[in-house]
Structures are given as structure tokens and as C-alpha cells.
Amino acid sequence: MESGKKMRITAAQVCDVGKRPTQEDSWCISDISDTEKLEACGLFAVVADGMGGLASGDLVSACVVNSLAASFEAKESIDSPVDDLYDMLQQCSSNVNEMLGPDGVKQSGSTVIVALVHKDMLYWAAVGDSHICLYRNGVLTLLNQEHNYGLELDRCAVSGKISFDDAQLSIHRKELVSYMGMGELKHIDRNIRPFPLHSGDKVILMTDGVYTTLSDAELAAVLNKNVYDAAELLQAGIYEKDVAHQDNYTAIILGV
Amino acid sequence: MISAAYYSSRGGLEINEDFVHATVNGNKCCAVVADGLGAYGGGEQASREAVRAIFSGYRGYNASLPDPGQIGVMFQLANAGVYAIQCPGCEMKTTAAALFIEGDRACWAHVGDTRIYHFYGGELISQTVDHSLPQLAVDIGKIDANGIRFHKGRNQVLMALGTKEGVQPEISETTPLHGGLNAFLICTDGFWEYVYETEMLVDLCKSENPKQWLEFMRLRLQQRANGSNDNNTAAAVFVQL
């Protein structure tokens, strides 16, 4: 990172229904042209994936994005990004639970990835199995853990409670164990210290419709371009794969 | 304030030839990791002896921050200790990496490809250089540092404890630590083979303590390992000033 010289942020996004009948992903990016807001609060981005197996996933993902966007919009400054992001996420969770009502909690849900780039630092919070990744020097690094049953099993294996082989064998590994709309959140993945960004870094927020179709190597090849070209190439890459039943897919690409 | 955590796992192998120990006493800390070389036999005895001998030397210096000369002596004694327990057909050898901290100063030393990483301010500040064949390939420009992980000669260590001639460990300068969190990671190649440096940084930014940091990284290792992976061992130290 060049000392004393603030990095310029760019952003692009892609969002498509894929081959599904409805779109259950939602997203937002704060206004990058609002330089005052950018200076005081940073750039804010959210991606959310309504859980298709549950009812009204689209409504929940929209509620997630709208709630977080409203919280960010109401901020005049962000002085404690780690705490502010956590509070916004908890407020969002309350709003979703309120929308669902006591009979709707755990009947519907959404993942969420929220990212804030502020004073050349990255902050994120994630619930569910959407991904936030850092692209740096040609290498893609996953920042968040997927909140699925596989994570719980792997943790048991690491602590010696079960074998690693047994952890891998479960057919329930992909089932989500933490998501917006479950009531009290079980897991939140977030950084508690600032993560410095370097000039040339890209950050990508994406739903599973992206990373289950494109490999890490394919994503890294796309992210080697500027964010606008990267977004176009990402969409073209998914289209070319022509996956049967291609899921909704959404990606926000931030560049510094 | 100093806090430390460590673990050691046999991975997908029958025997664990790694050994680790760390102590924290007020504003002082010593952490040592050793990786017995499998090709020579008796690796688990070699690594255990190396850690024992270095700790014995540390206690002998009243557990204060040793100077480079004292660290050199510790490693020579560890080398002699490993050499002394060799026998025909079992010429055991081991790597070793040791970290010493007192207050706002640290120093470290290593032999082989067990590594010591120093993180501060969300950046990787320093990383030890392996005494290995792949590192030689980096030095002469045949591969870059990222290629070490996948080099076919990755198991060929060029310096280890347990030699008749003695060893010349790589010893750091006494390093001042700045305010805030300084984090150190000492790990065998079975660990760093599967956990990349950016991932170490990311997981550090998420961790409240060394134990949590190790857990995050072990999950990455496990999700990458293929079931026949090497022993893997790491010690993590947080120095909050």
C-alpha cells in the first residue's frame, strides 16, 4: 500500500437469474460518486442469497439488503467499523425476524455478505455460505467460513471428538447452520481487526451460483482484469458453462 | 500481555514425528517447534530431544531473552543431544525453530524448514528462510517463493540437528516489538504446506486469541489435506503491547 496516498476504489456488479424461475439474490453498493460519504463512511456493499429450499427466500434477501442499506445510509460517519458493522448486522437480523414473525422464523432465510472499505482497510461480516474473497497478486483467498454442518463436523474433528474421515463422510455437510431468519444468529464470520488492502487488490462478494460454477482458477483469471471487464467476463464465463439448472448468481467486485 | 497456544497432529501418517512446547511466564515467552526427519528413523525422539534441550538452555539462562551467542549455544547443545541418541541404522535428525520474547523484544532462530512468521498491523513483517532444496531453487531464480510448496524436492532439508559437525542456525537480531498486537506463528512444513500466508493474515484479523487463530487455520488445512498428509504442528503467540 502506498503510504500517505489513499487508494481509489472502483466497483462493478453482475446479477442474473440463471436458469431458475425466480431471482432470490439481492445486492446493493453505496454510491461511489458521493465523495463526502465515501470519505466519512467508506464504500459499502452487500450480497444476499435467499434460501431456495425455504419459503420466500427472495423477500428475506431483499429485506436483508434493504435493512443494511438503510443502516449505512443513516450513518454520518463510521468511526468504529468493526463494531458498526456488527451492530448493523444484528439490527438487520432483528428486522428479518420481525418481518417473518414467530411462525416464519426458520421457515425462510437468506445468507449475507457485507463488506466495508474504509480508509484503505477492509471489514466484512458474513452469515451463511455466500463467499467474500480477496484477490491479491494472482491468488484468490476465501475470507469467510461457510456456515454449514460441514464446518461443525470439521471443528469436531480438529478438537479430536471425531475422526477427519467421519467428518468428510456426512451427507449433510452442505446444510446451513447459520442464516438470516433463523432467530438468534449462531455464527457470524467477521474480522475484528482492520485488514489492510494493497493497491491492485480486488474483493469479490458472491453467491454460491458463482463459485459452484466457476472454479477458483477461473475466477482468478477473470479478476486479473479491471472490475468492469471482470464482471463482464464472469458473466460470460457462467453463460458459457451452460450448467443445467444454473442457480441465481450475483457478484460485486471491488477494486483498489 | 503475552498469550500462546499450540497443537500437534500426526495428520494422515502413523507416527507423529513433530514436537512442540511453549511457556508464558509474565512478560516472557519461549516457544519451540521441531520436525523429526522421517528418512532417518527415530524422528519423534529427535524432535522431542531438540525441544527439551532448547528449553533446558532457556531455563539455564534464567529464562530471560537470550542474546545471539546464547541462542547459538542452545542450538549446539540441542544438536549434540540429538546426535548422542543416534544409533547405527537410526541416525535421527530434526529441524527446530525457537522464539524468545521478553517484554517488547523478541528474537528467534531456526534450522531446517520449520518456519517462524511475524505479523504486525495486518501485514506479514518477516518470515524465516528455509534451509531446503526448494529454497535453493528460489535463491537461484529457478522458481519463485510460491513454488516452494509444490516443488518435487520439498522434503529435502539441507540443515538439521543431529550432525557430528555441529550446526549454524539462522539467528535473528533482537527485534523491538511495536505497540498493539504482534503475532508470531511457528509451524512445521506439514502446516504451511496447506495454509498460505494471506490466509494466516486473514484468520489473524478474525481471531481473539492464539487458540482461535490456530483453529481457523487448522480448518483450512483440513479442508485441503488429502488424508495422507504429513504431521502438522504449530505454535501461535500474541504479544499485546
From CA B56, how far away is CA A89, in angstroms rounded?
A: 50
CB atoms within 10 A of CB A8: 9
pLDDT in tens, A145-186: 999 999 999 999 888 899 888 888 888 999 999 999 999 999
For residue A15, the cross-strand partners are: A250
Q: What is the ipTM of this complex?
A: 0.94
Burial class (CB in 10 A: 0-12, 13-18, 19+), B156: middle
pLDDT at position A5: 56
- Classify residue B136: in a domain, yes or no: no
Q: Is B148 part of a structural domain of the chain?
A: no
**Span B64-93, pLDDT tens digits:** 899 999 999 999 999 999 999 998 888 999
Residues of B with CB under 8 A from a CB of A: 121-123, 146, 181, 196, 198-199, 201-202, 204-208, 215-216, 218-219, 222-223, 225, 227
The Cα–Cα gap between A198 and A2 comes to 8
Using only C-alpha atoms, what is the Rg of chain B? 17
The shortest C-alpha distance from B106 to chain A (Å) reads 23
Domain carrying residue B22: 2-128+160-240
In sequence order, the β-bridge partners of residue B127 are B117
CA distance B6 to A246: 44
Q: Structurally, how many domains does chain B consist of?
A: 1
How far is B36 from B54, CA to CA, in rounded Å?
Answer: 15
Q: Within a domain: residue B72?
A: yes
Report if residue B82 sits inside a domain: yes
Contact call for residues B8 and B230 (beta carbons, < 8 A): no
User: What pTM did the predictor assign?
Assistant: 0.95
Adjacent-strand bridge partners of B96: B111
Tell me if B155 is assigned to some domain: no
> Interface of chain A against chain B, CB under 8 Å?
121, 134, 136, 139, 141, 143, 145, 151, 154-155, 157-158, 164-165, 167, 189-196
Chain position carrying cell 521478553 = B102
Q: Do B202 and A155 touch (CB under 8 A)?
A: no
Task: Domains for chain A: give ranges and CATH numbers.
Answer: 10-255 (3.60.40.10)
A25 grid coordinates: 439474490
Q: Do A158 and B123 touch (CB under 8 A)?
A: no
Burial of A75 (0-12, 13-18, 19+ CB in 10 A): middle
Three-state DSSP class for A8? coil
Residue B138 lies in a domain: no
Nearest to A74 by CA among A21, A37, A128, A110: A37
Residues of A in contact with B216 (CB under 8 A): 145
Residue B151 counted as domain residue: no
Share of chain A above pLDDT 90, in %: 84
Evaluate whether residue B147 is within a structural domain. Answer: no
